[in-house]
Amino acid sequence: MLQSIEKTRFLPTVEMTHSMNPIFYEFIIIDGCVKGDKLRGNNKQTKTGKNMAKIIPFRGILYNRHKIHNLSEVITPPYDIISKQDQCNFYKQSPYNIIRLDMGKSTKKDTDKNNRHTRAANLLNKWISENILVRDNSPSLYLTSVEFSSENKMITRYGLIALVGLEPFNKGIVIPHEKTFSKVTAKRFELIKACHANFSPIFGIYSDQNDILGSLKDAAGAKAPDMEFIDSNSLKHRLWRITDTSMHSHITDAMKEKKLLIADGHHRYETALKYKKWISEIKPGFSADHPANYVMMYVSSMEDPGLIILPAHRMLKKVQASDLTTFIQKAENYFEITTIPFDEKSRENARAQFISALRSNNSKNIIGVFIKNRQEFYLLTLKPQIMKQMFGKEISASLINLDVTVLTRLILMEILGFDQSMLDNEKLIAYSSSEEKAIHEVVSGRCDITFILNPTKINQVREIAEQGLIMPRKSTYFYPKVITGQVINML
């Protein structure tokens, strides 16, 4: 696995003020970019010789059901998939929508002392003082479920919201699988500095063949959920508070040998690390039991049938006309090209054929391409040994044959000439999990070229994360996303 670790339990040497017994896991983070960077640095170990991650119950802040009767009007998806139009819609839904805290609107009159972050902090305090938001009296683990439709079947995914002790990546306890955008982390840092709160949990996964969460499901099944609603995307959410300390202990014992991989939330984790460092520098007497040592996370089983990975298709803007003209010709040096022509009447049939061929060949390195002002879809199938011959010395074996690596390193960088700053520029590259939207953005002329991918497989994510490697950014799109506003953690 990630590293050789003996299976012994770590006992805390400090009092944890968030709750009673801390819960400890070993785990890994999962979400964004480049080559084959190793993150296993100078690992520090506990006295037992084992690196451990800490998970504890906490007193969450939740919407007051006596004042907020329709939770669907105040809950949102995570900020990173919310468009400006979505933001406006959520603002209109309710004056208490979590969007006003987690992704408030900016104005031209904003200053250092009056901006969307300071306004969010003022609103948070106001909502708490008015009992719109209420803090639980007892520490809890929060069991959640989300019910949704996939491939014409109803599926339910279960997860657990708790606090996790923050550790730097080089300790090998928490490890990212994707690179992040520094500008996004900077924006999130300003928000957390102003509000001193986690509004949206990081999403973690772990291997659970024995159904550890099953005991929590059984306990929850005996009572009505503390929260239940259907969101704007028709997903049904439920939440149960687990306050039984014996159940906490049972989960502790069952989970102590597990490794956790984070599926979503690299920016939030990096922001939490930065916040912890900032607080430790400005607060006299900062200690190990300070709330800034923890971040709110949601964890779910890797074997859960509701854990689905969708592809993150790329849509490129501002591509030179000459690069669009010569792209297919250049690509022929590295790929076998299949062309699917169409006219206006046959485009939908051609698109269906294009997507079907892409999906049915997912065991190969195959990438779909659609270029502006062309009446053709292209399927690019990588020729044997190309990646190894060109990049074998700089990219690890686990990463080199990922479709997203082929796209990033060979197509974007080698053929189209993107450098790292261009790869980092969100104004040049947009992402979508919907091939229909990705294609439509090119048809409409808003984008110049789109690359349609097959989803990364969960075993690929696990293998790469356990080796301490970083995947190309936006290699995964875990679905459904973990919602924002179900539980808030004060820092």
Q: What is the pLDDT of residues 62-113, one digit of tens each?
A: 999 999 999 999 999 999 889 899 999 999 999 999 999 999 999 999 999 9
φ, ψ at 400 (rounded to 5°): -65, -30
Residue 300's DSSP bridge partners are 205
Low-confidence ranges of the chain (pLDDT < 70): 1-53, 172, 177-183, 257
φ, ψ at 138 (rounded to 5°): -120, 145
pLDDT in tens, 142-158: 999 999 988 788 999 99
Residue 425 in tokens: 């520029």
- CA dihedral sign, ordered 128, 132, 138, 143: negative
What local confidence, expressed as pLDDT, does residue 260 receive? 74
User: What is the rounded CA–CA span in Å between residue 407 and residue 311?
Assistant: 13
The answer to whether 27 touches 51, Cβ cutoff 8 Å, is: no
Which candidate, 153, 175, 140, places its Cα nearest to that of 27?
175
What local confidence, expressed as pLDDT, does residue 180 receive? 60
Pairing relation of β-strands 489-490 and 313-316?
unpaired
At which residue do the structure tokens 């803007």 appear?
Answer: 317
Q: What pTM does this model have? A: 0.82
What local confidence, expressed as pLDDT, does residue 19 receive? 36
What local confidence, expressed as pLDDT, does residue 321 receive? 95
SS3 of residue 321 by DSSP:
helix
Q: Which helix (H) or strand (E) holds 377?
A: strand 376-382
What local confidence, expressed as pLDDT, does residue 29 receive? 40
User: What is the rounded CA–CA span in Å between residue 100 and residue 121?
Assistant: 10
What local confidence, expressed as pLDDT, does residue 175 receive? 73
What local confidence, expressed as pLDDT, does residue 39 receive? 35
